[in-house]
Structure 1
């Protein structure tokens, strides 16, 4: 089995490598290729990756290259984890929206649109090259904004599934609070990427006993603290929103917080410099503890489970169900069939098939429909360019929605991203 990681020079990659090594019976990789244009950091990451495999006795071969076409040739699956413009572009995404009184965040609001505009054309070019060199390969997208990027891939006819670590992170936290094994819990996870709610926490699988009321009653304070939301919000909703809902439910408070401290991008950039120095130590043969602060917790386990289910090799996955980003296709009747949603699905070699979802409260359905409309316009802007399309997408976003604010954000977005937008 050959897997290729595009963006293999990311400081995230050792988390992925550790999962591949630990879970080799589930996903028996024989060849792993890391590809990245940043040759120096790719070498550091690849060296650590080989040492992790050696320490854990994994027999697979790890290679590194800057040649994308060679890297994907004959691959069974290609994982995308790239960041166009690097942390410097992220720093801008997180700062200029604040000038207009809006959340500065790399996947949500105006910053998220900027990232989509930079990313979609690059990902589609990579996907076309995968189609030529490995026509049967599955593309697993971890590149944000995952919903928009996955929709671009599926609209272009690629074998693609989007992946996010929010659901698996919540599953692990809930399991720890309840004193259960993670595999015992099935989340009724519904929404769009970075716009989801846990409507149920079920023991044993779909239709199992719902533990959510007891979880909120007994551990509501801990859950709320982890999400940085008031416990009263969870009590009033009766469900668990993802932490990204804080940008909607407490937008103005978040803006005040972000204006008062260094950006997350600045923190991550400093952390990455320290991590790369650690990766260059030839004695290091495991992922360092610092990596846990970088983000992406449990990404490796989610990626292993999804790839194993899609490729049908190994001893199987802990559950036949995976939370993925895939076509709506009637699952949420208030959305178009070609919208990309994030839900539980049964996954096998034919791809994901979303599980039925009960009627969703208008409180959530309305926001889902609104953000889906924004994503329609965002993808159109990413594919066809043009100031007017960017403006319309910003005006449609529920965190913006005002004419003058959308105009000001459009000007700033274009000014800060000219080098990455061929049409600007």
Structure 2
């Protein structure tokens, strides 16, 4: 069995290598190939050498290789994991800095920055899907590349390869936190998720069939636990909001339901310490200096500062579940297929699914609860506009995506920021006539 990791030079890679090592008994991988592009060659070599030492220390029988030749790497692949960042952290810095400079939220997967990350990413992954369909048509693409929901929908609707599943660590983080609140084994806790990637809500918290949502909401009111990953600083939620919504928000909801206070906080952080992307570049430099140490043969604890903790638990568990036809329940990004009545069949949602060897089967949720229906349908229409623009490269389509986004919603600022970001990223936007 062969796993190919696209974006193998990423600082996240030791996380997934560790996950594959730990699951070797249930998910016996024979070959792992790390793939990157020319500009990532040095990092690929560093990560490859660390991964090699990790495999040797674990004493598992996995043959590891790394290459810049993607098509060669895909030969006989069973699973293809994607974790790319087109333009690198410098592009992310622009995604964050430019909106903030105009008084709007600058974030890598939400608002104007998230839109441009999708614009840069979707054409690249559609090209990958074409290669996969030609070279290893039976392989599953496991997409961790953000914005995961938008990218996954673009691939499923417009790509040549249909065996695609999107993953995110936010539902995992929320489940772990709920288990901590309830003092339960996380394996016994299941949150019923409803919505879309980075805009998903928890409508129930089930422990042995009993809904413990009210207890978790009470703990959130008292701010006794933080649902947020390392890359998002939470301000907590008001009692009124939580009790009125009667659902669990995810950490990204602060950008929408606490927009003013979050923007104020982000602007202060931007002025005091630079953007999150600039901070991550410092963390990355420290990580890669650590990765270079020839004595290092485990995933370093410092990686958790990077914000991608538990990625391997999601991606590797999903691959193992497909391989073993486990029919366990996981939260993934996949086609709606009737799970949420208010969405089209081919819309991609983030929902609990039964994982089989044929892929995910969404569990029926029914209709969207009234308190979130308008916001979720608006966000889905916005996502569809982003996908349309990523393929068309039409300026008016891009402008509409900006105007439709609730973190922008200003027709004059939309044009100014759109023009600035188009100019800043033009080398990564071949679909646009720039």
For the aligned pair, the TM-score class normalised by the smaller chain equals over 0.9
Q: Secondary structure at the residue paired with 2:146?
A: coil
Q: Secondary structure at the residue paired with 2:425?
A: helix
| Displacement after TM superposition at 1:134 (Å) | 0.5
| Displacement after TM superposition at 1:218 (Å) | 4.4
Does the Cα contact within 8 Å between 1:9 and 1:35 map onto a contact in 2? yes
Does the Cα contact within 8 Å between 2:173 and 2:227 map onto a contact in 1? no
Does the Cα contact within 8 Å between 1:196 and 1:342 map onto a contact in 2? yes
* 1:90 paired residue number: 92
Q: Secondary structure at the residue paired with 2:224?
A: helix
- 4+ runs of 1 displaced by more than 6 Å? none
TM-score using structure 1 length: 0.95
Find 2:105's aligned residue among 88, 91, 103: 103
Does the Cα contact within 8 Å between 1:44 and 1:276 map onto a contact in 2? yes
Unaligned stretches of 5+ in structure 2?
229-233
Find 1:163's aligned residue among 137, 160, 167: 167
Q: Secondary structure at the residue paired with 1:169?
A: helix
| Displacement after TM superposition at 1:306 (Å) | 0.8
Of 243-252 and 398-407, the range deviating more from structure 2: 398-407
Does the Cα contact within 8 Å between 2:341 and 2:368 map onto a contact in 1? no
| In 1: Cα distance, 2:369 partner to 2:193 partner | 14
| In 1: Cα distance, 2:96 partner to 2:26 partner | 38
| Displacement after TM superposition at 1:100 (Å) | 2.7
* 1:217 paired residue number: 218
* 2:231 paired residue number: none
Q: Secondary structure at the residue paired with 1:55?
A: helix
- Cα distance 1:223–1:240, how it changes in 2: closer, same or farther (>3 A)? farther
TM-score using structure 2 length: 0.93
| In 2: Cα distance, 1:60 partner to 1:253 partner | 49
- Cα distance 1:157–1:357, how it changes in 2: closer, same or farther (>3 A)? farther
- Cα distance 1:96–1:238, how it changes in 2: closer, same or farther (>3 A)? same
- Cα distance 1:182–1:127, how it changes in 2: closer, same or farther (>3 A)? same
* 1:230 paired residue number: 237
Of 8-17 and 393-402, the range deviating more from structure 2: 393-402
Find 2:153's aligned residue among 138, 151, 154: 151
| Displacement after TM superposition at 1:224 (Å) | 5.7
| Displacement after TM superposition at 1:329 (Å) | 2.0
* 1:25 paired residue number: 25
| In 2: Cα distance, 1:105 partner to 1:43 partner | 30
| In 2: Cα distance, 1:383 partner to 1:180 partner | 46
* 2:397 paired residue number: 389
Q: CA RMSD in A?
A: 1.5
* Matched residue count: 417
| Displacement after TM superposition at 1:236 (Å) | 3.3
- Cα distance 1:280–1:197, how it changes in 2: closer, same or farther (>3 A)? same
Of 194-203 and 214-223, the range deviating more from structure 2: 214-223
Q: Secondary structure at the residue paired with 1:260?
A: helix
Of 330-339 and 64-73, the range deviating more from structure 2: 330-339
Unaligned stretches of 5+ in structure 1?
none
| In 1: Cα distance, 2:287 partner to 2:333 partner | 30
* 1:406 paired residue number: 414
- Cα distance 1:219–1:192, how it changes in 2: closer, same or farther (>3 A)? closer
Give yes or no for the alignment of 1:378 onto 2:386. yes
Give yes or no for the alignment of 1:307 onto 2:311. no
| In 2: Cα distance, 1:294 partner to 1:131 partner | 32
| Displacement after TM superposition at 1:65 (Å) | 0.8
